[in-house]
Structures are given as structure tokens and as C-alpha cells.
Amino acid sequence: MFENQPKGLWALALANTGERFGYYTMLAVFALFLGENFGLTESVSGIIYGVFLGLVYFLPLVGGIMADKFGFGRMVTIGIMIMFLGYLFLSIPLGSGAVAFAGMFAALLLISFGTGLFKGNLQVMVGNLYDEPRFADRRDAGFSLFYMAINIGALFAPTAAVEIMKWAEIELGYSHADSYHFAFAVACASLILSIAIYYTFRSTFRHVEGEKKKNAATNAASEEELSPEETRQRITALILVFAVVIFFWMAFHQNGLSLTYFANQFTHKTAEGVDTMPFNVWNLVAIIFIVYGLFSIFQSKTLKGKGIATAVVAAAGCFLGYQYQHATGTVDISAPIFQHFNPFYVVALTPVSMAIFSALAAKGKEPKAPRKIAYGMIIAAIAFCLMIFASQGLLTPNEQKAAIEAGTATYPASPYWLISVYLVLTFGELLLSPMGISFVSKVAPPKYKGMMMGGWFVATAIGNLLVSVGGILWGDLSLTTVWLVFASLCLLSALFMFSMMKRLEKVA
């Protein structure tokens, strides 16, 4: 699974892990911060949240165009410095007045522009590692591993946000609204780690940074010659994929908006006994060690390797057994903590998905990337169908909000509904996101790689702008109607994708 991959993959993945840890620490609490610090409604918060996400994923188009001219590595470095300034401004507690509101928007602009320079260009560099013939057939697997690694950062982010806020309130005496700024400050520290990793291991990927002045001759010699017709076919195929993934990200990123609102307003506020175990991130880490250990036992070529893997599995199993025996008492369930399940599933399920597709590839039956993306859309639709079942008999959001304010509310939804929904959504994500990025890096005409990767993020940006629909729907409509909107859009997008499959697979 980890063999025969370019060395630069791990350095770039770890650099992105640090950046993603900071980003998702901030994002885990951002929607709630808007309401508690500024008194904004869910609808207005949703619009700000969606616009921010839209900018984060739109600006990689600008970053890609700049990188095609000035080099990918240079844009990555500048981007991470700009992001640092944005998180630094966001971490300063300025209160809830006009100055604080303006400062927040300035910080969001810096974060989104810095991310635009950093995110897409780093992924282009990952794709460039696989332009060498000896790595060409490892591209999909490489992007799956890259995607897994960056989700390690996202896995710990919600716990970091919740715990740092508790520490600020209990140990330092800050108010709940002010404690949010400590969560934002965590992102600053994570970016320092990210840039340190990038420059420490730069020698392993420097050849793909695309510095034009230094590598002009090499680039000209290595670029694939395409006819105008081939270029047009590839760009058309990419645009079709971009159009479909808009609706996936619109639905998927409800994890930070309507699904977080559902966790906050309808889901049990406490867990007891064994039910506390999923909310301890170290239990999830132990499960990850077991999954990877089991794969290593079967895949290791030496007895020593098999022995180490067996010991890791045994140690992680003993840890979980101990946790199970001592799972007593009650713990509070904070809404942001549910966001650690998606990255947990990504990390834990990546080797499973890779093993399945490797077995299919050995039989010549592995579906191409466009077909995987279409399957991912269907699975996303199934996830929101589960939310429809979870919401049967519940009040509308506005009715529930009134009950909470009156002190008569109950929180009837089991947390296992959301835990299950995140599992299903993650299956869809693993089929769509790493495969989509791999498809772009493979199909994009060489002269437009930065721009086309930026196009992928523009599609993601549009989807994220539409995330705000979740906040707009969150009010007097029934929850069933809210989830049905997202399920229907995902299903219709999958059907459109299948209708275009021949054209897409022709260039895949």
C-alpha cells in the first residue's frame, strides 16, 4: 500500500496535514462562533459560512493561473504566510462590535486568498510526481494516500477546538464567546509546523515546484504535445466533472452547517458508559492502528514486519479493551465534536478502498475515475436519506429553537444517526474527492495544469457557496424537506454523470 510511491508524496502530504489541522480547527466552531459572538441568525451565519468556503475554493483558480506563470512552489510559500496572518487576526478577541466584525472579514479574506495560493498548487505538485513513467500507474493510489494523510489533521481538529476552548474558560476564566479565539490561535501554530515540514523535506519534491525561469527547458521537453482537438476534449470532460461535483460539495459541507445545527439542537447532549467511547479521539486512533496493523500483517514481506504489526494490533486492542472496561460516567457531547468522524473514517477506510480497487484492477475491472465519482454521488444521496429517517417526528428547527429558549426542549435524536451518516458520506467522499483530483492531474493539458486544478476548486467553491442553502432552509420547513433537497440534488447529479460517461471515460 505504501510501497513504490515517490518520496515527495509524504513531505507534501504532511505539509498539507498541518495546514488542514488549523483550517478544520477553525471551521469546527466557526458557524457557532458567528451566532454566539455576533448574535447572528442561522440563516445569516450560513450565508457568511458559505461565502467564506466559496472564496477558499474559488481563489485556487487565481492561484493556479499565477503558478502557471511564476511556479507552484513560490505560490505555496506565499500562500501559507498570508494564511498565517489571517488566522492571527482572527485569534485576537476584539469583542462583538463593528471593529470586530470588520476584523473578522479581513481575516477571512486573508485566509481564503492564502489558501487559494497554497491548496491547489500543492496538489498540482503531488500530481507532477506521477508524471514520471515509473510512478504513472500509482497515481490514484497516491492521491488516496495523500487524501488520507491530510485527514489526519482534520481528525484531531474538532477535539483540539473543543478542548482548547474548555481550557480557556476553566483555567483562564474567559467567557465562552472569547474562548473561540483560542481555537483560532491553534491554526497559527499548525501553519508554523506546516511550513517547517515543507522546507525541511523540500529536496524530495523540488523538481516539481515548476519554477519557470530555472526549469523552462525541462518543462518544454517534458510537456505532452496535444492537438487543439485533444485539448478541447480534455477541457470539456473536466468541465462536465466540475459541474457535477458542485452538488456533492454543496451537500457534503453541510457537516459544518445544517448537520452541525442538527447536532446542536436535536441530538443527545450527553453520553453514558460505552456510548462515550466514540467521542474520545484516542479510541478512534486506536481503531486506525488496528486497521493499518491488520493490513501490515498480511502485506508485510518479512517476519519482523509481521511481528511488529501484530504487536501494534495487540497494543491497540488492549487499549480499547481497557477503555471499554472503564467506560463509566457521563460526558457532554459538544456539536463540533461530530466533525471528527469524517476524517476518522477517511483515514481508517482508505486502505480498505485501496485494497478493493487494487483487487478489481488485478482482474481488469476497476472503474475509471468518472464512474467512481458518479457512484460517490449516489452514496451521498443515501446519506441524506438516512437523515430523513433520523428526523421523523421531530419539530421544525424554529419550533425546536423556541422550545430550547423556553426550557422545554428535549433532544431526542441518537448521536449514532450522525455517526452513521458521516460514515456513508465518507464512502462517497473517498470515491469522489481523491479520484477527482487524480483525474484532473491526469487529464489536464500540461500547459493549463494550474488553471485546471483551479477549476476543480472553483467547482468546489460554487458548491460551498450553495452550502448556505442549508442555513436558508433551516427554519420553518420540516427537517425531512431539508434533507430531501440534498438527497435529490446528489441523485440527479449522478444520473447526469452516467449520461455523459462515454465522453468522460474516453479521455480518462
Tell me what pLDDT residue 279 has: 92
| DSSP single-letter state for residue 254 | G
Tell me what pLDDT residue 10 has: 86
331's enclosing H/E stretch is strand 330-332
Tell me what pLDDT residue 211 has: 63
Tell me what pLDDT residue 47 has: 85
Q: What pairs with residue 330 in β-bridges?
A: 272
Q: What pairs with residue 413 in β-bridges?
A: 267
Residue 179's identity, in one-letter code, is S
For residues 90 and 170, give the distance between their C-alpha atoms in angstroms, rounded to a whole number.
Answer: 22
Buried b / exposed e across 378-394, counting CB within 10 Å, b at 16+?
Answer: bbbbbbbbbbbebbeeb
Cell of 46: 450560513
For the chain, residues with pLDDT lower than 70 are 1-3, 211-224, 508
Tell me what pLDDT residue 215 has: 47
Cell of 483: 434533507
Q: What is this structure's pTM?
A: 0.79
Tell me what pLDDT residue 219 has: 47
Query: Is the separation of the CB atoms in 165 and 183 below 8 Å?
Result: yes
